[in-house]
Amino acid sequence: MSAALHSDISLIPQVSGHLIGSGGKRFRPLLLMAAAALCGYQGERRHPLAAVIEFIHTSTLLHDDVIDNADMRRGKTAANHVWGNAASVLVGDFLYSEAFRLMTEHGDMEIIRVLARATNLMAGGEVFQLMKKGDPEITEADHLTIIEKKTSHLISAACTVGGLLAGAPAGQIAALGRFGLDLGFAFQIIDDALDYTASADEFGKAIGKDLAEGKMTLPLIRTLQNCPAAERQMIVEIIRDQDRDETSLQVVFSIVQRHDGIPYALNMAQNYIEAGKNQLEVFSDSSPRRDLMVLADYVVTRKF
C-alpha cells in the first residue's frame, strides 16, 4: 500500500496516509489473503489485490466523511477537518483510480468484473442511503438493501477474488462469495449496534454519529416497530427536527435501550455469521479455513 501511494504530489500520501496509516482492522484484505490460502494460492498477486480492496474501502470512507461532515475516523481527526472537503474528495478519487490501475495490472477480466460490480453497487447503496436519510418510515428490508450494497458486496468480492486467484472450482468460489456476503451483513449490523453501545475510544469514531446524522439503522428501526405510539411519535419528531440537539438524541437513546432493538440486531448478526460459516463446509478442515472461522467470530465479538 505504501508503494502504491507514493506520489510526487505531496498531498496524496499525506491525506491517504492519514487514514490508512492510522490503523484500521485491514479486515477485507485479511479475508482475501485467507480465502486465497484456503484455495491453495500463496502467490504474489494476492498482495496488490488485497491493497485494491483496502483502497476501494478507504476511498469510500474519505467520501463518507465529507458527506456526513464527520469529526473523527479511526480515533483521529477526520481528513476533511484537517485538509478540507476538496482534498478529501480528490484523494478519495485518486485511491479509486489507483485501485483500478492495480487490478488491471495484477488481475484478470473475471477479477476486474467482480471488483467493478462491487464498486458500482457500493455507489448505488450510498445514493439509496441518502434517499432514506431521516426517513422514519424506512423498513428493515430497505436497511438490509443498503447494507448489502454498501458493505456486503465488497467483503464478498474480497473473498471471491481469493478463490479466483487460486483458480478454485466454481462451487468453492460461489461459497466464498456467499460467506463474504453474510459476513458483510453481520459486520454492518454490529456497527449499527455499537453506535448505541460502545465508547468513542473503542469505536474509533463518535458514538451516536448515525443517529445525529439522521441515519436509520437496525436498532432504531426495530424500536420504531415495537415501542408504544407515544414513544414512536417522540422519536419521529426528533428525527425530523433538523435542529435536534444532544438532549433530544439522548431521549432516543434511552427509548432504544428500553426496547429490544440492540438484542434484536445482535441476534440477527449472529445468525448471519452462522449462515456464513456454514458456507465453508464445502472445504476440508485446514488452517486457512479455521482462520476464516476466527475472522467470522471476530465480527460479532469486536468492540474496536
Residues 8-64: tens digit of each pLDDT: 888 888 888 877 776 667 899 999 999 999 999 999 999 999 999 999 999 998 988
Predicted confidence at residue 71, as pLDDT, reads 77
In a domain, 137, yes or no: yes
Is residue 143 within 8 Å of 150, Cβ to Cβ? no
If residue 231 lies in a helix (H) or strand (E), which one and from where to where? helix 229-240
Say which CATH number the domain at 150 has. Answer: 1.10.600.10
Cα 6 to its chain centre, rounded Å, is 26
In a domain, 1, yes or no: no
Rounded Cα–Cα distance for residues 174 and 153 (Å)? 13
Average pLDDT along the chain: 90
Q: Is the pLDDT of residue 166 over 60?
A: yes
Phi then psi dihedrals of residue 213, to 5 deg: -90, 0
In a domain, 5, yes or no: no
Cell matching residue 52? 485494491
Predicted confidence at residue 304, as pLDDT, reads 39
| Mean pLDDT across 159-177 | 98
Predicted confidence at residue 181, as pLDDT, reads 98
Taking only the tens place, the pLDDT of each residue in 270-288 is 999 999 999 999 999 999 9
Task: Please indicate whether residue 81 or residue 182 has the higher confidence score (pLDDT).
Answer: 182
Label residue 156 by pLDDT band (50, 70, 90).
very high
In a domain, 114, yes or no: yes
- 5, 286, 298 from 74: Cα distances, Å: 19, 33, 18
In a domain, 6, yes or no: no
Task: Using CB atoms within 10 Å of the CB of residue 25, give its burial: 0 to 12 exposed, 13 to 18 middle, 19+ buried.
Answer: middle
Taking only the tens place, the pLDDT of each residue in 202-243 is 544 556 778 888 889 999 999 999 999 999 999 999 988 888
Q: Which residues contact 10 (CB under 8 A, 6 or more apart)?
A: none
Predicted confidence at residue 226, as pLDDT, reads 93
In a domain, 159, yes or no: yes
Cell matching residue 103? 487490478
In a domain, 2, yes or no: no
In a domain, 4, yes or no: no
Predicted confidence at residue 141, as pLDDT, reads 97
Q: Which residues contact 197 (CB under 8 A, 6 or more apart)?
A: 262
| Mean pLDDT across 76-104 | 90
Predicted confidence at residue 303, as pLDDT, reads 62
Number of domains in the chain: 1
| Mean pLDDT across 260-266 | 94
| Structural domain for 277, as ranges | 11-301
